[in-house]
């Protein structure tokens, strides 16, 4: 780029112009050739647009070609649609600019509401090297489409080539400033070629005849800026240079917020402008656009300057987690870049001399890691890191100290009496006998470090241990029959993170100390971890696997979260004094999951056992589990309860009280108090005697009362109900019972008598079967998708219930001995026939006694025929016209049925009803009205017949 960055650069602008002119000598000389002659055409379209360019080149280069051609065509007699408006219209019509060649031109002119289209195909836009020099080539095909002709009426291919005058491409032999400038000048050469090519097209393309003559746009040979020296910070100058025709008024925009910046003509046709960056400027990829205006003849031109300018006054964030770790090759430095989406900064690393303490530069890197191999063992080194960006803004400095160590193994014995660090490089640290960390001393373990214990060796912590591993470099404690004991360390918290404890017979003991474990694993040990003597431990995300005892809690307080116990002899063992706060525990494949000496709540623990029955033997002692919080697929208790309860309900449905009682006894210890009342009732009906507590429940008392008053009459039926789920539904028992009651009759007919005829089930649904309920009980429910699924247990008077069900035809009754005599006291016999049909369905014998009322003679005839009861039918019919039509009639049937005992003229019971209908046909109208009236009294009449028959049979039944 141009070596112009300081505010004083404008004072040397003459030298700048001279240097730029030398560099652009041949380009300028070839950019002002005479254009070809004009080409007016009477058939040329007037209202046109220049479509987005397609072909070779970047998006910016293609846009430059389109802009230049649009600017040049503005001097012709066209009415040009602005490129921005064209792009918006194409986007609204969902047309991809990159696939314009596939679109029908007729559709495009309709969408854009134009007479013609200009298509641009960029065939070549490249830089070709020839020896020590380079030349640029731009080749474009332009086509003009006419909506009137419905065809392309003109096409031309134009190629422009320019050699970059005197710019040697042997870059190693040119100064750095010239190398930078080459990048900018190359873009400038391309812009000049594109402009010359566009002007040639404008002179050659057919343009419409007539209209006001337009002045040619201002001539611009080349324009460029020092964008390559950026990004720029406060005080820097952004320089913009333009070579074009003399006498222009020129301004430039640097992005949208910095517009109308002036440029001055310093020499004939050469213009220079500058913008001094402010402290509050912060922007990336800002485009520089020139606005050139000729006053006479007046014409304007917008020109995009190659390159994007960055303004950067924001210092990069500091390097986070700057660490130094001794490794076999030297010291590895690592850190994290905190700048997120910003361009990655560079980091300058410095190291102090171990003797003088003076810092010197190590390296400048863009990565987040560096290996310093020029170190000596046993020395202390200080490192510091400084981030800086391309604008030379610097961020905060971070530092770290490290001591290089001898590669392991390293022997450890006796007391550790000063703060000590175990390094990965010094590992393994081998302890062959007893070792101890003294009081007020801290032992720290770096990620990747390992402690190896010999047979029976031990490490006692009286001070503090900080074993801070990483997910990819854990700290490890391994050996055979080893022991790590932390005791009496006061309030200091012992910390392990990403630690692995392994070894036959080994174990970790926390006695009277505070310890925290995170992402740790205990594997293959006698007792993985033991806490006692008022210890306080916390474990997050841990695993106990293949231990004799995974975790043993004595007199201690423990908080466990996300812990997995798998393959242990005993996973969790607690004794008196243990206090546990557990969340998200998982048990898999342990011989004993939990062994508790006192009530122990392990929360919503998950078990991988096959069933609840398999789980029970693996839980020893009073273990409490929050089953309600577990999802269905992990809730072994709920799965088992469903299966066992299903068996109980299935037994009740077939009146198998023995199996129902046996199943309910299995469930009794874990069901709620209300459900225990149901269990007591089932046991009573099965002939057993429930406990005093359960027998006192309302449901059980009702069962005992019903059984005592009418042996064999009590019946337990379970109703299954679904309701659309609402959050408060589970806490609304009264509403659930009411909803179930509203569905009781229909549910009983459909669920318990699924083979009943549909018409019979519908009749039963209209009966008041709830009057036969002696008790009801809401059973626990659960959410099932979008519904709340629950059950209600009912204690029913079965004989009375089935009497109604027989009337409806749901339950088939044995053939009755009852004989009913029918007397018709109406002119029509329709009502008597309906009564005969109803009696036949109920398998009740009847004899038609003929026409007339109940007289002594009629009763005598009935007695001789063996009739037990007489029904007299009275039926009156009213027919009238409706207001709607003279042909549409209204029918009313007034029905009276009188029930008599044979040999008696006194009415035992009277049934009356009125039915109505409207119909055009008399026969169907009478049938509907009479059917409606008879339907109102049918059920009550039949019920009376059955009751009178049962009473008659009871009187004639011989006494035993």
Helices (H), 451-532: none
> Which backbone phi and psi does 935 adopt, to 5 degrees?
-60, -25
CA angle 721, 726, 732 (to 5 degrees): 70
CA 804 to each of CA 765, 863, 952: distance values in angstroms, whole numbers, following the listed order: 11, 29, 19
pLDDT at 102 over 80: yes
Q: Are residues 165 and 130 in the same domain?
A: yes
Helix (H) or strand (E) holding 125: strand 116-130
Dist. CA 552–CA 570, nearest whole Å: 9
Residue whose pair of structure tokens reads 């007016």 in the numeric block: 40
647 in a domain, yes or no?
A: no
Same-domain status, 806 and 844: no
205-214, 304-313, 791-800, 906-915: the lowest-pLDDT one: 205-214
Same domain, 585 and 722: no
Interval 711-744: pLDDT, tens: 888 888 888 888 887 767 667 788 888 888 888 8
Instruction: Say how many C-beta atoms besides its own lie within 10 A of residue 283's C-beta.
Output: 16
Query: Please, which residues have CB within 8 angstroms of residue 828's CB and are 6 or more apart in sequence?
Result: 875, 877
- CA separation (Å) from 760 to 640, 763, 770, 806? 37, 5, 17, 9
- Range 13-37 average pLDDT: 43
Final residue before a domain boundary, out of 199, 214, 229:
214
Q: Which CATH number fits the domain that encloses residue 800?
A: 3.30.70
Give the range of the structural domain holding residue 773, as residue numbers without chain letter. 713-745+757-812
Return the exposure string of 345-362: e unless at least 16 CB atoms fall within 10 Å of the residue's CB, then b.
bebbbbbbeeeeeeeeeb
**Contact between 67 and 302 (Cβ < 8 Å):** yes
Write the DSSP symbol of residue 10: G
- Domain count of the chain? 6
Mean pLDDT lowest among 326-330, 496-500, 766-770, 855-859: 766-770
Contacts of 748 (CB under 8 A, 6+ apart): 717, 719, 764, 769
Q: How far is the C-alpha of 515 from the C-alpha of 807, rounded, in Å?
A: 77
Q: Which residue has the tokens 């070596």?
A: 3
Residue 816 pLDDT greater than 90, yes or no:
no
Is 200 found in the same domain as 127?
yes
Q: Are residues 143 and 268 in the same domain?
A: no
Instruction: Give the pLDDT of residue 812.
Output: 62
pLDDT of 516 > 90? The answer is yes
Residue 396 CA neighbour count, 13 Å, CB half? 11
How many whole angstroms separate alpha carbon 249 and alpha carbon 239?
Answer: 17
Q: Specify whether 7 is located in the same domain as 111.
A: no
**Structural domain includes residue 368:** yes
CA 162/CA 426 separation, integer angstroms: 66
pLDDT of res. 11: 40
Query: Which residue has 């009275």 as its token pair?
Result: 874
Q: Verify that 861 and 721 share a domain, yes or no.
A: no
pLDDT-above-70 percentage for the chain: 87
**Same structural domain, 422 and 282:** no
Q: Do 870 and 801 fall within a single domain?
A: no
Does residue 696 lie in a domain region? no
Give the integer Cα–Cα distance in Å for 694 and 936.
45
Same domain? For 291 and 157 the reply is no
75 with 210, same domain: the answer is yes
Structural domain contains residue 664: no
Per residue in 766-778, pLDDT tens? 777 888 889 888 8
Task: Identify the CATH number of the domain in which residue 847 sits.
Answer: 3.30.160.150
* Residue at 788 is within a domain: yes
Distances (CA, A) of 625 to 358, 601, 629, 926: 64, 6, 9, 70
CB 698 within 8 A of CB 775: yes
Would you say how long the chain is, in residues?
A: 960
Across the chain, mean pLDDT equals: 84
Q: Does any domain span residue 685?
A: no
d(CA 528, CA 532): 14
Q: Which one, of 412, 518, 542, 503, lies nearest residue 467 by Cα?
A: 518
CATH code for position 210: 3.40.50.10610
Q: How many CB atoms lie within 10 A of CB 327?
A: 17
- 432 within domain boundaries: yes
- How far does CA 729 lie from the centroid of its chain? 26
835 shares a domain with 863: yes
Determine which of 96-110, 430-444, 509-523, 816-830 has the lowest per-residue pLDDT on average. Answer: 816-830
What pLDDT, on a 0 to 100 scale, did the predictor assign at position 896?
93
Which CATH number does the domain housing residue 370 bear? Answer: 2.60.40.10
pLDDT beyond 60 at 131: no
Strand partners, 84: none
Residue 45 in domain = yes
Boundary residue ending a domain (285, 311, 337)? 311
pLDDT band at 842 (very low <50, low <70, confident <90, very high): confident
Q: What is the pLDDT of residue 308?
A: 86
Provide the 3-class DSSP secondary structure of residue 698: helix
Is the pLDDT at 847 greater than 80? The verdict is yes
Looking at 214, 245, 274, the residue that finishes a domain is 214
Q: Which residues of 681-712 are buried (b: 16+ CB within 10 A; e: fewer)?
A: bbbbbbeeebeeebbebebbbbbbebbeeeee
Does residue 120 carry a pLDDT above 70? yes
Beta bridge partners of 119: 143
| CATH number of the domain to which 230 belongs | 2.60.40
């Amino acid at each position: 780029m141009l070596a112009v960055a300081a505010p004083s650069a404008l004072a040397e602008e003459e030298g700048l112009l001279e240097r730029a002119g030398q560099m652009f000598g041949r380009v300028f000389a070839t950019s002002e050739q005479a254009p070809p002659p004009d080409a007016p055409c009477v058939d040329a379209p007037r209202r046109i647009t220049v479509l987005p360019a397609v072909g070779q080149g970047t998006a910016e280069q293609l846009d430059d070609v389109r802009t230049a051609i649009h600017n040049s065509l503005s001097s012709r007699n066209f009415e040009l649609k602005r490129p921005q408006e064209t792009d918006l219209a194409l986007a609204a019509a969902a047309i991809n600019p990159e696939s314009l060649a596939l679109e029908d031109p007729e559709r495009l002119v309709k969408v854009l509401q134009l007479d013609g289209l200009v298509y641009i195909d960029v065939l070549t836009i490249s830089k070709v090297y020839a020896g020590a020099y380079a030349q640029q080539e731009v080749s474009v095909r332009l086509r003009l489409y006419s909506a009137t002709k419905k065809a392309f009426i003109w096409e031309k291919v134009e190629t422009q080539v320019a050699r970059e005058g005197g710019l040697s491409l042997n870059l190693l032999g040119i100064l750095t400033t010239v190398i930078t400038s080459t990048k900018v000048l190359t873009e400038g050469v391309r812009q000049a070629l594109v402009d010359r090519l566009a002007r040639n097209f404008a002179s050659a393309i057919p343009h419409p005849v007539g209209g006001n003559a337009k002045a040619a746009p201002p001539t611009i040979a080349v324009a460029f800026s020092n964008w390559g020296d950026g990004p720029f910070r406060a005080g820097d100058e952004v320089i913009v240079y333009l070579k074009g025709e003399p006498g222009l008024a020129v301004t430039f925009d640097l992005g949208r917020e910095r517009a109308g910046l002036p440029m001055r003509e310093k020499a004939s046709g050469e213009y220079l402008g500058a913008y001094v960056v402010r402290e509050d400027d912060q922007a990336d990829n800002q485009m520089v656009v020139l606005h050139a205006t000729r006053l006479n003849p007046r014409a304007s031109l917008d020109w995009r300057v190659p390159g994007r300018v960055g303004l950067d006054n924001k210092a990069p964030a500091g390097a986070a987690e700057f660490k130094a770790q001794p490794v076999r090759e030297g010291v590895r430095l690592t850190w994290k870049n905190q700048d997120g989406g910003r361009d990655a900064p560079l980091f300058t690393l410095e190291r102090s001399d171990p003797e003088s303490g003076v810092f010197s530069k190590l390296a400048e890197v863009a990565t987040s890691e560096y290996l310093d191999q020029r170190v000596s063992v046993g020395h202390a080194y200080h490192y510091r890191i400084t981030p800086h960006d391309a604008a030379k803004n610097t961020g905060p400095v971070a530092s770290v100290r490290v001591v290089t160590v001898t590669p392991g193994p390293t022997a450890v014995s006796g007391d550790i009496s000063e703060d000590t660090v175990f390094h990965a490089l010094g590992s393994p640290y081998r302890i062959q006998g007893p070792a101890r960390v003294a009081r007020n001393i801290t032992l720290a373990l770096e990620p990747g470090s390992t402690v190896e214990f010999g047979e029976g060796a031990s490490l006692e912590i009286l001070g503090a241990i900080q074993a801070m591993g990483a997910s990819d470099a854990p700290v490890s404690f391994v050996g055979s029959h080893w022991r790590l004991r932390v005791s009496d360390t006061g309030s200091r918290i012992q910390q392990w993170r990403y630690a692995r404890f392994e070894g036959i017979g080994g174990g970790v003991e926390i006695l009277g100390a505070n310890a925290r474990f995170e992402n740790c694993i205990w594997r293959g040990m006698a007792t993985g971890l033991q806490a006692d003597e008022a210890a306080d431990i916390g474990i997050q995300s841990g695993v106990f696997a293949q231990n004799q005892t995974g975790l043993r809690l004595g007199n201690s307080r423990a908080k466990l979260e996300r812990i997995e116990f798998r393959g242990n002899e005993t996973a969790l063992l607690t004794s008196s004094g243990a206090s546990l706060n557990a969340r998200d525990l998982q048990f898999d494949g342990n011989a004993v999951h939990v062994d508790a000496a006192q009530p122990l709540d392990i929360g919503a623990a998950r078990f991988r056992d096959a069933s609840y029955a398999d789980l029970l033997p693996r839980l020893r002692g009073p273990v409490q589990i929050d089953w309600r919080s577990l999802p269905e697929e992990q809730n072994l208790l709920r799965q088992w309860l469903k299966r066992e309860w299903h068996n109980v309900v299935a037994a009740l449905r077939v009146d198998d009280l023995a199996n129902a009682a046996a199943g309910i006894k299995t469930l009794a210890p874990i069901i709620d108090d209300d459900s225990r009342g149901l269990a007591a009732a089932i046991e009573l009906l099965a002939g057993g005697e429930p406990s005093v507590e359960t027998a006192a429940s309302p449901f059980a008392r009702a069962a005992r009362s019903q059984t005592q008053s009418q042996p064999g009459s009590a019946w337990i039926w379970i109703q299954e109900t679904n309701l659309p789920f609402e959050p408060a539904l589970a806490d609304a028992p009264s509403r659930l019972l009411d909803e179930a009651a509203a569905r009781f009759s229909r549910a009983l007919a459909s669920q318990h008598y699924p083979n009943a005829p549909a018409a019979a089930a519908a009749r039963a649904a209209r009966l008041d079967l709830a009057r036969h309920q002696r008790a009801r009980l809401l059973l626990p429910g659960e959410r099932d998708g979008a519904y709340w699924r629950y059950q209600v247990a009912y204690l029913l008077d079965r004989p009375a219930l089935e009497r109604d069900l027989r009337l409806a035809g749901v339950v088939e009754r044995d053939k009755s001995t009852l004989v009913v005599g029918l007397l018709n006291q109406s002119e029509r016999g329709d009502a008597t026939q309906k009564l005969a049909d109803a009696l036949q369905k109920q398998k009740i014998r009847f004899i038609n006694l003929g026409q007339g009322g109940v007289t002594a003679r009629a009763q005598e005839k009935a007695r001789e025929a063996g009739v037990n009861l007489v029904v007299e039918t009275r039926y009156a019919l009213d027919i009238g016209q409706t207001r709607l039509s003279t042909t549409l009639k209204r029918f009313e049937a007034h029905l009276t049925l009188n029930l008599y005992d044979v040999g008696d003229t006194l009415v035992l019971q009277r049934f009356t009803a009125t039915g109505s209908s409207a119909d055009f046909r008399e026969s169907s109208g009478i049938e509907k009205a009479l059917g409606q009236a008879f339907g109102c009294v049918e059920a009550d009449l039949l019920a009376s017949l059955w009751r009178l028959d049962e009473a008659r049979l009871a009187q004639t039944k011989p006494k035993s």
